[in-house]
Amino acid sequence: MNVSGNSPARKLVYWGSHYLMIGAFVVFALFPLYWLLKVSVTPNDILYTEGVRMWPSRTTWENYFFVLTQSNFPHYFLNSVIVAGTTAIVTTMVAAVTGYSFSRFAFRGKMIIVALMLITQMFPLVMLIAPIFKILAPLGLTDSLTGLIIVYTAFNVPFATFLMQSFFDGIPKDLEEAAMIDGNTRFQAFRRIILPLTLPGVAATLGFVFTAAWSELLFALMLVSSESASTFPVGLLSFVSKFSVDFGQMMAAGVLALIPACAFFLLIQRYLVQGLTAGAVKG
Amino acid sequence: MDGGKSVTTAMQAGKLPVERRGVISRRLSGILEPYLYVSPALILIIAVMLMPLVLGLSYAFRDIRILNPFSGGFVGTAHFQTLITDDAFLGALVNTAWWTFGSLLFQFTLGLILALLLNRDFLGRRLVQALVFLPWAVPTFLSGLNWAWMFNPVVGPLPHWFTALGLMETPFNILSDPDLAMWGPIVANIWFGIPFFAITLLAALQSIPKELYEAAAIDGATTRQQFISITLPFLAPTIAITLMLRTIWIANFADLIVVMTNGGPADSTQIVASYIFTQAFRRLDFGYASAIAAVLLVLLLAYALGVIALRRAMTHADS
């Protein structure tokens, strides 16, 4: 049985079905995104007549042109960039110092804090919607980008901390001990020696938090009511429910919303390729 | 009082030799330093997650409606009594089970198959890996909208394909059919969630020592025997923990449903998480929403504890 398993015919069948199944997964993963792109470049007048064609007979950029110049989407886009960008930077800074202390110090109450952070990953965030609204409203932080940034930062800090901690754990302690003997304080050693070595980890954390904040919908819907503070998900959703007619424009807006997330995905991959240990040896 | 004490300590410290003073202040800052590093995260989590959690639990026993200035009083267990007879809530409970286990079964099975396929070396593997993991990077609101469009007979191909296959008589939108609507968000969730299982299971697969397979092959074990006696036992811990975590996450994951169907038609896709959101967001009834949330929290805790107890019992029986 084992011998026949190595015969050329069986091998051909095995690899044939292997590639066939891989192909099916790739098609399933990419087809919806391809369709989004296809409808976004289809001219309005042939959208319905050529509804199921794989590629339209004519293409146009007018949907993109409309979304970028005639609609509120550039404004939503800017709001989302501000919220997701600030959240990513603040979260990563907070997570870096917390992750560093988890990695390097043994202190009283550490286990309680770690357990607390783990538990926050388990409970349903939907149940915080009403109380957070009640807390933020008197502070004037509903309907504001600042309020969203604070909420998103708190939600993302636990996971980002564990992520950063795992990167710090990969760096030998001798490095900052040597720097401290040379007269640096621990924080200086952390900032000048350790943090630069974890740049790939910092990039991964930034990318992860940015994508999470960029995608968040329910809290953005609940906490923001005005057009001027709407983020991209809220803007796109209200657009859909108000005038569910212009599919070409909505899909063009969808493609635009996809770009930052995919760009960050590629950025993370690029940094993750550089090995952590390689950096530590060089330092 | 406190100030006076610290002044005398400072004076005593002043009399100490310079190097000893350095040692003391360094020690003191050494003790305080970790807390200083942890404090921003701790303050954020307490203020934005723990306080609201406690507050939310107290809301469950109060009458809190945003548009009613006279609300705010304690109502005892009135919300919970309403809940027991609330058909929409009971329906949402059944839908949550449907939604969670329907999504989980396919996400896990397909994710495992994908991880096994990617664990073999083949031409173009790196490119394929980047492509099949891409849905995970797509913002959830966008995957929801995108799948809603795919199911729409006007711009989406799916209803036309179903018709061509004989599954439908004429192309229609399954999202507006109460009997079928739940499959829409489930399919979107499967698409979105396969990469998570594939990534974690692939990492676990790659940590299995190759020598084990070589030794098994020498002993004459077939591929299937190797899979059952080597691969599965090595994957078991990863499978157990990811299945449990994903169950909780999916049960809480209302975004796709809010975007694609908003719980409709006729509450047929309303899960508990989206019902909480609807109560808080549309009716602004924070008290009732919090009562539902408290029940959901208890149910999920019971589920997690049940799974952990089951695992412990099973590992006990093994050894």
Rounded to a whole number of angstroms, the distance from the CA of B16 to the nearest CA of chain A is 22
B72 within some domain:
no
Superfamily of domain A71-282: MetI-like (1.10.3720.10)
pLDDT at B97 (0 to 100): 94
Same domain, B122 and B188: yes
Q: Are B184 and B174 in contact (CB under 8 A)?
A: yes
Q: Quick check: B141 and A22 CB within 8 A?
A: no
Residues A20, A23, A28, A32, CA torsion sign: negative
Report the first-to-last Cα separation within chain B, whole angstroms: 62
The partner residue sitting opposite A126, judged by closest CB among B50, B140, B293, is B293
Same domain, B8 and B139: no
Instruction: Quote the CA–CA distance of B197 and A183 in Å, as a whole number.
Output: 47
Phi, psi values for residue A2, rounded to 5°: -70, -35
SS3 B62: strand
Are A95 and A160 a contacting pair, CB within 8 Å? yes
Q: pLDDT 10s digit of each residue in chain A, 283 long? A: 344 456 788 888 888 899 999 999 999 999 999 998 988 898 888 877 776 778 888 888 888 998 888 888 899 999 999 999 999 999 999 999 999 999 988 888 899 998 888 888 777 788 888 889 989 988 999 889 999 999 999 999 998 898 888 888 888 888 888 888 888 888 888 888 888 888 878 888 888 889 889 989 889 988 988 888 899 988 888 777 765 567 888 888 889 888 888 777 766 655 543 332 233 333 2
The encoded tokens of residue B50 equal: 């723990």
Same domain as B106, residue B25 = no
A257 to chain B nearest CA, in Å?
A: 8
In tens, the pLDDT along B181-234 reads: 999 999 999 999 998 888 888 878 877 888 888 888 888 888 888 888 888 888
Same domain membership, residue B84 and residue B48: no
- What digits encode the pLDDT tens for the residues B275-306? 998 888 888 888 899 999 899 988 988 888 88
Asked if residue B65 belongs to a domain, the reply is: no
First-to-last alpha carbon distance for chain A, in angstroms, is: 54
Give the span between the Cα atoms of B200 and B315, in whole angstroms. 22
Contact between residue A218 and residue A126 where contact means Cβ atoms under 8 Å apart: yes
pLDDT single digits (tens) B85-114: 888 999 999 999 999 999 999 999 999 999
Q: Enumerate long-range contacts of A27-34, CB under 8 Å, 24 or more apart.
A: A28/B191, A29/B131, A29/B132, A29/B133, A29/B134, A29/B135, A29/B191, A29/B194, A29/B195, A30/B131, A30/B134, A32/B135, A32/B143, A32/B146, A32/B147, A32/B150, A32/B191, A33/A258, A33/B134, A33/B138, A33/B146
Looking up residue B93, the CATH number of its domain turns out to be 1.10.3720.10
A/B interface, count of CB pairs below 8 Å:
240
Contacts of B146 in chain A (CB under 8 A): 32-33, 35-36, 254
Residues B40 and B116 in one domain: no
The C-alpha atoms of residue B177 and residue B180 are separated, in whole angstroms, by: 5
> Is position B71 within any domain?
no
- Give the C-alpha distances (Å, rounded to integers) separating A100 from A166, A204, B42: 9, 16, 14
Q: Confirm if A152 and A213 have CB atoms less than 8 A apart.
A: yes
- Examine the predicted complex and report whether its ipTM is higher than 0.85: no
The verdict on B23 and B87 lying in the same domain is no
* CA–CA separation, B282 and A259 (whole Å): 31
DSSP string, B147-166: HHHHH-TTT-SHHHHHHHTT
Q: Determine whether the interchain pair B51/A131 forms a contact, defined as Cβ–Cβ distance below 8 Å.
A: yes
Per the domain annotation, does B162 fall within a domain?
yes
CA distance A273 to chain B (A): 12
Residue B10 tokens read as 């400072």
Test the A interface: residue of B37, B46, B61, B127 with most A CBs within 10 Å: B37
Q: Where are the domains of chain A?
A: 4-63, 71-282
Residue A63 distance to chain B (closest CA, Å):
15
Q: Check whether residue B222 and residue B89 sit in a common domain.
A: yes
Enter the tokens of residue A20. 């066939």
Cβ <8 Å between A105 and B220: no
Asked if A125's CB is within 8 angstroms of B252's CB, the reply is: yes
**Is residue B69 a part of any domain in this protein?**
no
Q: What is the pLDDT of residue A280?
A: 30
Please give, rounded to a whole number of angstroms, the shortest distance from the CA of A238 to a CA of chain B: 10
Query: What pLDDT score was predicted for residue A2?
Result: 43
Q: For chain B, what is the domain count? A: 2
CB B205 within 8 Å of CB B231: yes
The residue segments making up the domain with residue B38 are 2-59
Whether residue A175 contacts residue B101, with contact meaning beta carbons closer than 8 Å, is answered with no
| A47 interaction partners in chain B (CB closer than 8 Å) | 155
Identify whether residues B290 and B165 lie together within a single domain.
yes
Same domain, B83 and B207: yes
Question: Which chain A residues are closer than 8 Å to B280 by Cβ?
Answer: 129-130, 133, 222
Is B89 contained in some domain? yes
The reply to whether residue A131 touches residue B154, judged by beta carbons under 8 angstroms, is: no
B107 belongs to a structural domain: yes
Cα–Cα dist A39/A14, whole Å: 37
Q: Are residues B125 and B27 in the same domain?
A: no
Confidence at residue A240, expressed as pLDDT on a 0 to 100 scale = 74
Find the closest chain B residue to A253 by CA distance.
Answer: B142
